[in-house]
Structure 1
Amino acid sequence: MGNCGGRSAKCTNFSSPFASKTSLHGSDTSNSAASSKASNTIFSSFGSFKSDASLPSSSLKLFTLNDLKVATKNFRSDSYLGEGGFGIVFKGWIDENSHAPTKPGVGIVVAIKKLKRESFQGHKEWLAEVTYLGQLHHKNLVKLIGYCSESDGKLLVYEYMQRGSLENHLFRRGAQPIPWATRDFNAKLSDFGLARNGPTGDKTHVSTRVVGTRGYAAPEYLATGHLSVKSDIYSFGVVLLELLSGRRALEYQVGEIGDTLVDWAKPFLDDRKKILRIMDTRLEGKYSKKGAQAIASLALQCLHTDPRNRPNMNEVLSTLEELRLPSKEPSLPGIRL
């Protein structure tokens, strides 16, 4: 998904070809997050950062490799959290104030990404993460605490999202379905490794090699490589459909790729009576019908073929805030989207 979409009105828009992931943080608006939005300010691309010497001199903690070995019990298997294209993610412990490594159970939990040594693209993503999140601080973004940059170790240290990812909660086999009220919770974005600089001045778009997760890409971006803020609006529309339907953006059949979620859902979105056909059956009808119809209508606007007819993020935010009612569900701290 892109970097736009969501809850807070004072966040910055990035043009990010569906690189970010999201993390639910619960109903407390002080933990608010979803996708970023609002102003048209665009930060520069990581392409302009040529070496580690250009890393931002921000409040990020510079860890040594030995620090992170201590924090993860030398990256032992019982500290393992998961693995992606970037590398392996481990659970670690650090002191809340000094950020010095501590023993398990002492201090605060962090998530530590360890770059695969053989991954060239991983290094670029590592540098992009440090560059962007070293400059950006917002309640809708997963916090980057620090990094390690040694010849035999490139690592990133993040706040730990204890509930995992929205993707896992929606799509993991055997997972309990997320209640309707919870799907209205706020979320935090993570993973800016594929972020790109957006248009500045009078420019309406930037041109890039098409990258990102299939199923979320706006049609004009796929056709031309032209990336704009409205490309991210489209991607957020896909996320709204995932929340409504409980289906993946791109379904995989045995031996082939199935239809996109957008292709499947669009015929139902402009008819209020048909909208309920796309709803996640695991909800067993326990959701606000009017709320579902309103969100489906918003998703349809975000997915408009002509990017000029898509709403801006302030408009999306306003609509979602009108729909969002105080939840009686227990707080759900920490889910990565």
Structure 2
Amino acid sequence: MGGFSRASCFLCLGIPPPPRAEPRRAAVARTFALDELAAFALDELAAATRNFRDDSSVVGREANLYKAYLKSINKIVNIKLQHAVRTSGPSEQLNREFLAHVLTLSALRHPNVVNLIGFCADGEYKILVHEHVPLGSLEDHLHPRDRSPAGKAPLDWNTRMNIAARVAKGLEYLHHKGVVYRKSMGSSDILLGDGYHPKLSQYGLADLGRLLAEDNKDWSTEFWGSTTIAPETFVTGKVTMESNVYSFGGLLLEMITGRRPIDPAQPAAEDRNLIAWATRLMKDRSQFRRMADPALQGRYPSMDLEEALTVASMCVHQQPAMRSPIGTVVTALSRLAYDVDPPESSHPAAPS
């Protein structure tokens, strides 16, 4: 267990380490009310990422995210460098904020949410360690010409609907826990495990109560350039469960159509924004087949396509109060997913 240095990490956060007389593992679990969260030493994480070098070990397009093997737990993990050599703001306040974020993320345990394995807090370094999901992001598979290995077959209709239903279940779980995506949720935020089992990345998550309390904070830079954010969020910078549903609707349209949220290759300017283009076409049933991803080659049930587009349209309504609750979305998509059990309740409990 040489890679662990729990006592030093606790001291960096301003928390006294557990008494030596008590078994170290039990004391850590008691202090944090957690059973499976590890505190890693900075030197192990730095060595595993070659001192956080910006090279092929970086995962996807997420900033400061690394894939690495950790000997101390014998696992491949994703390492997210949250802050490095940050001098602005009181260090005690930064430590408290980071610890609150760690506690929020560590409490999330759901089959469709990426698990937090551990963390490190050493001086100005604040690092999260998550499980590694092997098949990359949904974006990699929806847009293979740009990012996927040559020869990869496109996702079929059933797989897309199974992914959509499970992502909706994960989002419902997060909302039940009072957690939201504070940035626009897109296909790059959905990670795929074996059997194309989807998990929502934790990198864009935040506690809803804390976000709503921060009335004077400007979040506009987080949304710049995104087209799947809700109109009210773009204006006010405020994130809500309803704005998350809007982003999910954009994600569902991306899965149905195979288009990116912004497609500059489209000759007509009004067709370049996915949600604007789809909203216009969804008013006319005769246009539905035109909206399906050409890569599907027509292999989908027409009624399922119509129902999926109906769900998406209810998610991307301009008025937040008119959008479908996420529980309704879960129920509707579960009917379209042939490999997903129907929801047992509108508020799923975390696995024990």
Normalised by the shorter chain, which TM-score bucket?
0.5 to 0.7
Query: What secondary structure is seen at the aligned counterpart in 1 of 2:285?
Result: coil
Amino acid at match of 1:296: L
Decide which of 57, 67, 76 is 1:109's aligned counterpart: 76
Superposition deviation, residue 128 in structure 1? 6.8
Q: TM-score, normalised by structure 1?
A: 0.66
Please report the RMSD computed on the Cα atoms of aligned residues, expressed in angstroms. 3.7
Q: With CA pairs under 8 Å and 6+ residues apart, which has the higher RCO, 1 or 2?
A: 1
Residue 230 of structure 2 aligns with which residue?
A: 218
Q: Deviations over 1:111-154 (max 9, x none)?
A: 22234636689x89966752421222222210010011112643
Q: Which amino acid aligns with 2:298?
A: G
Query: 2:106, 2:87 → 1: CA distance?
Result: 21
Work out the CA distance in 2 between the residues paired with 1:206 and 1:233: 22
Partner of 2:68, secondary structure, is strand
- Alignment correspondent of 2:326: 313
- Pairing partner for 1:67 from 29, 33, 44: 44
State the shift of 1:84 in Å: 4.5
Mapped to 2, the partners of 1:316 and 1:308 lie a distance apart of 15
The equivalences for 1:165-180 within 5 A come to 165-173=137-145, 175=148, 176=152, 177-180=154-157
Distance 1:126 1:250 in 2: 33
Checking the alignment, whether the CA contact within 8 Å between 1:79 and 1:91 is kept in structure 2 is no
Q: Post-superposition shift, 1:266? A: 1.0
Cα separation, partners in 2 of 1:259 and 1:77, compared to 1, 3 Å: closer
- 1:266 and 2:270 correspond: no
1:155 and 2:122 aligned: no
3-state SS of the aligned residue for 1:250? Answer: coil
Q: Greater shift after overlay, 315-324 or 84-93?
A: 84-93
**Structure 2 match to 1:285:** 298
Inter-CA distance 172–80: structure 2 relative to 1 (3 Å threshold): same
Find the partner of 1:181 among 134, 154, 158: 158
Distance 1:79 1:69, change over 3 A: farther
**Is residue 298 of structure 1 aligned with residue 311 of structure 2?**
yes
After TM superposition, give the deviation of residue 264 of structure 1 in Å. 1.1
Alpha carbons of 1:195 and 1:251: their partners in 2 closer, same or farther (altered >3 Å)? farther
**In 2 relative to 1, CA 72–224 (structure 1 residues): closer, same or farther, beyond 3 Å?**
closer
Q: Kindly provide the amino acid, as one letter, of the partner of residue 233 in structure 2.
A: Y
In the alignment, the residues of structure 2 paired with residue 264 and residue 79 of structure 1 have an alpha-carbon distance, to the nearest angstrom, of: 36
What SS does the corresponding residue of 2:80 show, helix, strand or coil?
strand
Aligned length: 263
Asked if the contact 2:102/2:119 (under 8 Å) is kept, the reply is yes
- Asked which structure has the greater CA Rg, the reply is 2
For 2:107, which of 123, 135, 140 is the aligned residue?
135
Partner-residue secondary structure (3-state), 2:208 = coil
Q: Quick check: 2:49–2:66 contact (8 Å CA) kept in 1?
A: no
Q: Which residue type is aligned with residue 64 of structure 1?
A: A
Q: Distance in 1 between matches of 2:251 and 2:236?
A: 23
Query: Within 1, Cα distance between the matches of 2:231 and 2:115?
Result: 31
Alignment correspondent of 2:246: 234
Deviation at residue 207 of structure 1 after TM alignment: 7.7
Q: Which residue of 1 aligns with 2:262?
A: 250
Residue 281 of structure 1: how far off its partner (Å): 0.7
Q: Distance in 2 between matches of 1:261 and 1:119?
A: 38
Looking at structure 2, the residues matched to 74 and 118 of structure 1 have their Cα atoms a distance apart, in angstroms, of: 14
Which deviates more from structure 2 when the two are superposed, residues 168-177 or residues 191-200? 191-200
Report whether the alignment pairs 1:191 with 2:202: yes
Pair 1:257–1:273, CA change in 2 (3 A): closer
Distance (Å, rounded) in 2 between the aligned partners of 1:116 and 1:76: 15
Q: Would you say the 8 A contact 2:114–2:199 is kept in 1?
A: yes
Within 1, Cα distance between the matches of 2:319 and 2:231?
A: 9
Q: Which has the higher strand share?
A: 1
Structure number with higher helix proportion? 2
Structure 1 counterpart of 2:305, one-letter code: A
Identity over the aligned pairs, expressed in percent? 32
SS in 2 for 1:158: strand
